Chain A
């Protein structure tokens, strides 16, 4: 275990040394993408300039949902977002080299392509989340305090599962890049708003089918201590970590199946 940890650490370091050759592009990329996070939140605020309520939620409530979802998404994007690169590995047969090493293929891909330029976004969305928690003026209890920490991590696990599952499709279908994006970036958009604004079929598919209601909406309900206008029982919100664990397990199983489907390419 210690050996593997050291190996992954070295893989990440090698990535830093390779990237350090391209400093300007790193700086530009890191700077520009940080702006995107702000825009996401501004969108929510702008919406409230035309309506006092969104799907039955006030600005402070809606902001909490959005901030949770954003923070979770950016953690996931930093940790596993680069897994979408797997389709390049599959298309070019590069998985061959990954599979003959004594480390997990998923771990190797993530460490080899670890995107440092995304660190800024995580820091920014973390600050935003803390700010919104203060602004939301919550009625703090010990359970809520724990949830406030666990919820973004669960959201991160949920989005990670979506990233990994989406990327795994590449093992069956090489040109799957855009499809996976629909679920990852689309999921982030979806999860940033109260699910009450969506028609019921979208809710069944994305909010509860894919579990995206647990990225922001459900934990926000529990933190705010308000019942779901759609009538899900209050304890459902507290299942957020369990839902995340189930999603992550499912994604890993799919990934394992995908690896065994790998066909390589002719040499």
Chain B
């Protein structure tokens, strides 16, 4: 996978802010005005062709950031450039270069068949007919659209509609694709199919993908780079492995024994995490050391029935990260 950023980054944000004023009741008639920073100074550069997972708890400012990047919301401060232009002042120009899937805000025509929506989008984005046909044919095949192409959008299942939305976002050949929780509410099979499609799209390197999600499987499958936000600030920007390293995620070794040990062996860097099943199962946590030493030591001691090495659970890391910010 090529991750060399070319000259202009796809997205560059410096000190990006969005403040909302909120009115609260303070007494019978009086109201006080508070300013809430939904996005409180985000610095972020995304190179062309990168896939970035933008994650954080509800209310962390994920959607607000995406809406500023797509020209929907006007930033309160900071600098922002997407595809080389400032989103709000150059909104129409930007719209041709980006694709947007906001799960709850459909780009499709509710009362018309899916096929008609796609035809409409060709006019809306002024896409040459041949290009449009080519992209649509690719999506029809990869996203398996043919079975419901003539169904009115309002009658589609959520999974079908989401496949339609993603096609709609790609028909004008965007350079950056923004996806706000694309897999939310889908069944397992649909999720996997969608992830597979997005993973291939990202690996192609032509499209920069920025997605928000709460689904950790999405992150593991799709996002080599992870940006974690909380309270409107970036709290982590790096690979999944770096996130684990920084937050002390540990690999675990699960050992099943024929007979419980009288005394558990001491190996440097391996701590006993817990003992289960009356001592028939022991779980060790490895503090950055390879599992080999521990397993060799256990093998010497005998009575070993089974050994499993578990990679750190990202769910746990993210949960810990969220909890710390709260």
Q: Does A99 contact B (CB under 8 A)?
A: yes
Report if A100-B72 is in contact (Cβ < 8 Å); known contacts: A267-B63, A267-B103. Answer: yes
Q: Which residue of A lies closest to B121 (CB)?
A: A101
Least Cβ distance of B52 to chain A in Å?
18
Q: Are B73 and A263 in contact (CB under 8 A)?
A: yes
Q: Does A95 contact B (CB under 8 A)?
A: yes
C-alpha spacing A96/B68, complex, angstroms: 11
Report if A96-B123 is in contact (Cβ < 8 Å); known contacts: A18-B111, A102-B92, A264-B73. Answer: no
Q: Which residue of A lies closest to B181 (CB)?
A: A267
The segment from A9-17, A66-74, A239-247 found at the interface with B is A9-17
Least Cβ distance of A13 to chain B in Å?
9
Q: Which residue of A lies closest to B172 (CB)?
A: A102
How many A-B contacts are there with CB distance less than 8 Å? 85
Interface string of B111-124 (1 = CB under 8 A from A): 11000100110011
Q: Does A23 contact B (CB under 8 A)?
A: no
Q: Are A94 and B105 in contact (CB under 8 A)?
A: yes
Q: Which residue of B lies closest to A2 (CB)?
A: B126
Instruction: Say which residue of B98, B102, B116, B124 sits within 8 Å of A17 (CB atoms).
Output: B116
C-alpha spacing A100/B73, complex, angstroms: 10
Q: Does B81 contact A (CB under 8 A)?
A: no
C-alpha spacing A262/B64, complex, angstroms: 12
Q: Does B95 contact A (CB under 8 A)?
A: yes
Q: Does A3 contact B (CB under 8 A)?
A: yes
Q: Does A266 contact B (CB under 8 A)?
A: yes
Least Cβ distance of A95 to chain B in Å?
7
Q: Are A14 and B109 in contact (CB under 8 A)?
A: yes
Q: Which residue of A lies closest to B124 (CB)?
A: A7
Chain A residues whose C-beta falls within 8 Å of the C-beta of B102 in the assembled complex: 96-97, 267
Q: Are A100 and B95 in contact (CB under 8 A)?
A: yes
Q: Are B116 and A14 in contact (CB under 8 A)?
A: yes
C-alpha spacing A10/B122, complex, angstroms: 10
Least Cβ distance of A15 to chain B in Å?
9
C-alpha spacing A4/B125, complex, angstroms: 9
Chain A residues whose C-beta falls within 8 Å of the C-beta of B191 in the assembled complex: none
Least Cβ distance of B72 to chain A in Å?
5
Least Cβ distance of B77 to chain A in Å?
14
Q: Does B20 contact A (CB under 8 A)?
A: yes
Q: Does B100 contact A (CB under 8 A)?
A: yes
C-alpha spacing A101/B119, complex, angstroms: 15
Instruction: Say which residue of A7, A264, A267 sits within 8 Å of B123 (CB atoms).
Output: A7
Instruction: Say which residue of B59, B64, B74, B119 sits within 8 Å of A260 (CB atoms).
Output: B74
Interface size on A, residues (CB 8 A): 29
C-alpha spacing A10/B126, complex, angstroms: 11
Interface string of B88-107 (1 = CB under 8 A from A): 10011101101010111111
Report if A17-B96 is in contact (Cβ < 8 Å); known contacts: A96-B102, A100-B71. Answer: no
Q: Does B236 contact A (CB under 8 A)?
A: no
C-alpha spacing A6/B128, complex, angstroms: 13
Chain A residues whose C-beta falls within 8 Å of the C-beta of B111 in the assembled complex: 17-18, 21
Q: Does A120 contact B (CB under 8 A)?
A: no
C-alpha spacing A68/B101, complex, angstroms: 47
Q: Are A267 and B104 in contact (CB under 8 A)?
A: yes
Least Cβ distance of B67 to chain A in Å?
6
Q: Does B180 contact A (CB under 8 A)?
A: yes
Q: Are B95 and A101 in contact (CB under 8 A)?
A: yes
C-alpha spacing A175/B159, complex, angstroms: 34
Instruction: Say which residue of B20, B88, B125, B180 sits within 8 Å of A102 (CB atoms).
Output: B125
C-alpha spacing A99/B74, complex, angstroms: 11
Least Cβ distance of A256 to chain B in Å?
11
Q: Does A103 contact B (CB under 8 A)?
A: yes
Chain B residues whose C-beta falls within 8 Å of the C-beta of A262 in the assembled complex: 72-74
C-alpha spacing A267/B213, complex, angstroms: 12
Report if A11-B120 is in contact (Cβ < 8 Å); known contacts: A21-B111, A97-B105, A267-B180. Answer: yes
Report if A6-B73 is in contact (Cβ < 8 Å); known contacts: A14-B109, A14-B112, A97-B105. Answer: no
Interface string of A104-143 (1 = CB under 8 A from B): 1000000000000000000000000000000000000000
Q: Does B167 contact A (CB under 8 A)?
A: no
Q: Does A177 contact B (CB under 8 A)?
A: no
Instruction: Say which residue of A10, A99, A263 sits within 8 Å of B91 (CB atoms).
Output: A99
12 extra A-B contacts, CB within 8 A, seeds A18-B109, A96-B72, A99-B72 = A4-B126, A11-B123, A18-B110, A95-B72, A99-B71, A100-B72, A100-B98, A100-B107, A101-B125, A261-B74, A262-B73, A264-B64
State the A residues within 8 Å of B (CB).
Answer: 3-4, 6-7, 9-11, 14, 17-18, 21, 93-97, 99-104, 260-264, 266-267
Some 13 contacts from A to B, beta carbons below 8 A apart, are A3-B123, A7-B123, A10-B119, A11-B120, A11-B123, A11-B124, A14-B109, A14-B112, A18-B109, A99-B91, A100-B72, A102-B125, A261-B74
Q: Which 7 A-B pairs have the closest CB atoms?
A: A3-B126, A102-B95, A18-B111, A10-B123, A96-B105, A100-B100, A102-B92
